[in-house]
Chain A
């Protein structure tokens, strides 16, 4: 039976890690992820986990050691934020390409320069094509639930891909929330034993991992990797269904909030979704038909389902807490538009909240107002705007 406790996002994450009890954790502290590493160090110091904790000298080594541990046959985890993820970059790709089922909480924070420690999604959005599965979490409860499910998704035989579980820096990571948690034994039962694919530590079957792969094979290996990502689309709901049986908490590819009968739709990730929901309730009271789609699974992209969920809308506003600097809108916007290819629905991009700029219910209301105008006039003047920027 679930137990209710008050935890921050970081505490909930560290707790889930303790309950997962990985064989190896290799991590480097960085704001705002720091608490996770500190709490976990304490679990190790207190003998509450069987984990070998590798206190690496950088995030590059954190991911490198995690790759080594996973390749050896261990259940391995790390955690990071922002510049840490950026420093890991090279090895982030390698982890996915070597098909290692690593799970990594990422506490979203803006990327330098200028240096900024607050939330936006530029860190994980930059890693969206690294071959990792990405799950986004609105609050501490989702960060906790996603992390536990991530183990099962990553380790599924048809997937064997690493998973990032994202939550908003400070807003979620440091905000106290009332959440329901599982018993340690329930978590262990749910995740089960890892059966490594080609462990280095099998004395009977020595393996070569990370060979030079030239023109005549590389394409085949990439094709396999693409298939694993497709398989993840099937596996993620399967794992969610089992998790729902255990906890009563339902997880899909995305959450729809008052969306089905809406005319105006918003699409937003992570904590802003909570703010938007509150504003939607207000607006609904005054008769505005507005709803929200909050993606949980961004990689793989459930394009077909996204399309089906959004196709009835008159106008869509995508909120991007990251820019892709493509002069063509933020990453969420381009994906949503691509999923809606051919549909005659105006889609607008609002790049907002960069570097932790506050996003309030009033802001959500302002955006809905702009969208309502587009729905009325059928005219889009500027599809891509920087919401709240001082001109």
Chain B
């Protein structure tokens, strides 16, 4: 077995004073995607790009470009299901699928 040594976090002398964080928006590096039990699966074909899912996502996890949905950010999506719920009933371009199904596929 390989021994894993965690890199030592910086000490008090090398961090900015007063607990200031100088790297704006660096929480992006923190992945909340593993909180998810249900995954929103999006159908580009059905999508009418109304952007209602995008404007309702708490985690900015739906990526829009030039007014169109391009992808879902599964590194951060927490699987709340708001997007699927807000997608117009006549469109239903997003379905919530249990993560275990992907584990089977990917695992």
A206: nearest residue on chain B (CB-CB)?
B24
Contact of A224 with B21 in the complex, beta carbons under 8 Å = no
**Are the CB atoms of A160 and B17 closer together than 8 Å?**
yes
Q: Interface on B for A, CB 8 Å cutoff?
A: 9, 11-13, 15-22, 24
Interface of A is mostly: loop
- With a cutoff of 8 Å between Cβ atoms, the chain B residues found around residue A286 in the complex are none
Q: B22–A198 contact, CB under 8 A?
A: yes
Interface centre among B9, B11, B17, by most chain A C-beta atoms within 10 angstroms, is B17
Whether A207 pairs with B20 at a CB distance below 8 angstroms is yes
Chain B residues with Cβ below 8 Å from A326 are none
Give residues of chain A (208-225) contacting chain B, Cβ–Cβ below 8 Å: 208-211, 213, 216-217, 219-221, 223-225
User: Which A residues touch B24, using CB under 8 A?
Assistant: 206-208
Q: Is the CB of B21 within 8 A of A207?
A: yes
Q: Which residues of B contact A27 (CB under 8 A)?
A: none
Tell whether, in the assembled complex, residue A220 and residue B15 are in contact, meaning their CB atoms are under 8 Å apart. yes
Known: A206-B24, A216-B9, A223-B12. A211 touches B19 (CB 8 A): yes
Cα A216 to Cα B6 in complex, Å, equals: 14
Identify the A interface with B (CB < 8 A).
97-100, 160, 197-198, 205-211, 213, 216-217, 219-221, 223-225, 227-228
Residues of A within 8 A of B16 (CB): 198
- Bound complex: CA A204 to CA B9 (Å): 27
Q: Apart from A97-B18, A197-B17, what are 13 other A-B pairs with CB-CB below 8 Å? A: A98-B19, A160-B18, A197-B18, A198-B18, A207-B20, A208-B20, A210-B19, A220-B11, A221-B12, A221-B15, A224-B15, A224-B18, A227-B12
Chain B residues near A100: list those with CB within 8 A. 18
Q: Given A206-B24, A223-B12, do A217 and B17 touch, yes or no (CB 8 Å)?
A: no
Residues of A with C-beta under 8 A to B9: 216-217
